[in-house]
């Protein structure tokens, strides 16, 4: 099932997101393509979208690889960051909310939000979000919101390194999904959350806590040189996670890698 600009358009109800887009057969990375466009395309508008059927060197957080065979959704969306800097961290969270709602509404699958940037189904990763920010002299600050969704990927198409930890919509549903609809609805949801975020009317923490998350689970977090073990109690303002450590005290962690222990 091929990704097609006009077919995506049929599903869009947005005013900005995805109204200008490029669809590529393959790219090294959609985030890299958008990051380089920011430097050269002066009139680039908010919501500019890059999509690729495959990525040769798809990137995840902290220098990890995002395996990107054909059949997945790989997209990057341009945001102009007219937001206080402490809100930037919320952007990958609204990405997760948008993908979560789409997967639930279109396919009746209930993912789990795993801090800081993954969606899991039955413990296996179905989507990941990568937000990269840049300041370009004389312009705004830009955010490139990269979203990967394992859509129509069969189990044997995942490389060995991730075959036990990744899943896809195809694996869970037993049938292919319409990737144009999937992309269109993600963008629609994302624009609604983004508009609320800039109007300051979105309670990101409340939205997260209303959904299925890792709250209550035991976890180990590597944050810089430190390893923190405890129970996830909730989320803080602007993208942090709250952990109750042994002895009952609570820690708020802004950045790190989390491993579930139960
Ligand atoms: C992660 O889980 O570590 C984040 C994965 C983000 C992957 C997406 S796919 C589209 C965009 N382009 C990239 O190179 N990475 C992001």
**Segment 49-78 mean pLDDT:** 96
Contact 108, 186 (CB under 8 A): no
Q: Distance between CA 155 and CA 172 in Å, rounded?
A: 10
With cut-offs at 50, 70 and 90, classify the pLDDT of residue 82: confident
Instruction: Name the residue of 21, 34, 49, 60 to mutate for ligand 1: max ligand atoms within 8 A of Cβ.
Output: 60
Q: Interior CA angle at 85 toward 79 and 87, to 5°?
A: 75
Q: In what order do the strands lie in the sheet with 218-223?
A: 250-253, 241-245, 226-235, 218-223, 257-260
Omega within 30 of 0 (cis) for the link into 195:
no
Contact 91, 143 (CB under 8 A): yes
| Ligand 1 nearest atom to the CA of residue 59, by list position | 14
**Side-chain-facing half-sphere of 50: CA atoms under 13 Å:** 23
Q: Distance between CA 117 and CA 91 in Å, rounded?
A: 10
pLDDT, position 62 = 86
Computed over every residue of the chain, the mean pLDDT equals: 94
For 193, the 3-state DSSP assignment is: helix
Task: Write the pLDDT tens digit of every residue in 84-143.
Answer: 888 888 899 999 999 999 999 999 999 999 999 999 999 999 999 999 998 876 667 899
How close is the Cα of 42 to the center of ligand 1, in Å? 25
Answer left, alpha or beta for residue 18, where phi above 0 means left and psi between -120 and 50 means alpha: left
Instruction: Name the residue of 73, 79, 146 to mutate for ligand 1: max ligand atoms within 8 A of Cβ.
Output: 146
| Ligand 1 nearest atom to the CA of residue 60, by list position | 3
Dihedral angle over CA of 181, 183, 188, 189, nearest 10: 110
Model-level pTM?
0.95
- 146 phi/psi in degrees, rounded to 5: -100, 130
pLDDT, position 237 = 76
**Segment 18-46 mean pLDDT:** 95
How close is the Cα of 177 to the center of ligand 1, in Å? 20
pLDDT, position 236 = 87
**Segment 155-165 mean pLDDT:** 90
| Ligand 1 nearest atom to the CA of residue 64, by list position | 3
pLDDT, position 138 = 63
How close is the Cα of 75 to the center of ligand 1, in Å? 8
pLDDT, position 139 = 61
| Ligand 1 nearest atom to the CA of residue 57, by list position | 14
| Ligand 1 nearest atom to the CA of residue 61, by list position | 3
* Strands 218-223 and 257-260, bridge-based pairing: antiparallel
**Segment 246-255 mean pLDDT:** 93
User: In this structure, which residue's CA is closest to atom 2 in ligand 1?
Assistant: 128
**Segment 220-224 mean pLDDT:** 94
């Amino acid at each position: 099932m091929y990704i097609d600009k006009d077919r995506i358009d049929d599903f869009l109800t947005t005013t900005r997101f995805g109204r200008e887009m490029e669809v590529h057969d393959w790219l090294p990375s959609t985030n890299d393509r958008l990051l380089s466009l920011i430097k050269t395309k002066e009139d680039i508008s908010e919501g500019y979208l890059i999509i690729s059927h495959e990525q040769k060197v798809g990137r995840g957080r902290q220098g990890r690889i995002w395996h990107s065979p054909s059949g997945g959704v790989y997209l990057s969306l341009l945001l102009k960051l007219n937001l206080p800097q402490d809100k930037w961290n919320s952007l990958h969270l609204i990405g997760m909310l948008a993908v979560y709602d789409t997967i639930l509404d279109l396919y009746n699958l209930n993912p789990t939000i795993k801090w800081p940037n993954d969606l899991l189904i039955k413990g296996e990763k179905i989507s990941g979000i990568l937000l990269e920010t840049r300041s370009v002299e004389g312009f705004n600050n830009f955010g490139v919101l990269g979203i990967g969704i394992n859509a129509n990927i069969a189990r044997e198409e995942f490389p060995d390194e991730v075959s036990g930890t990744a899943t896809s919509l195809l694996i869970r549903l037993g049938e292919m999904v319409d990737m144009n609809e999937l992309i269109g609805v993600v963008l629609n949801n994302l624009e609604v959350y983004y508009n609320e975020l800039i109007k300051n009317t979105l309670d990101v923490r409340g939205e997260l806590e209303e959904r299925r998350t890792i709250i209550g689970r035991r976890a180990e977090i590597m944050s810089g040189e430190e390893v923190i073990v405890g129970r996830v109690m909730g989320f803080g303002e602007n993208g942090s996670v709250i952990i109750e450590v042994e002895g009952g005290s609570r820690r708020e962690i802004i950045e790190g890698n989390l491993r579930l222990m139960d």
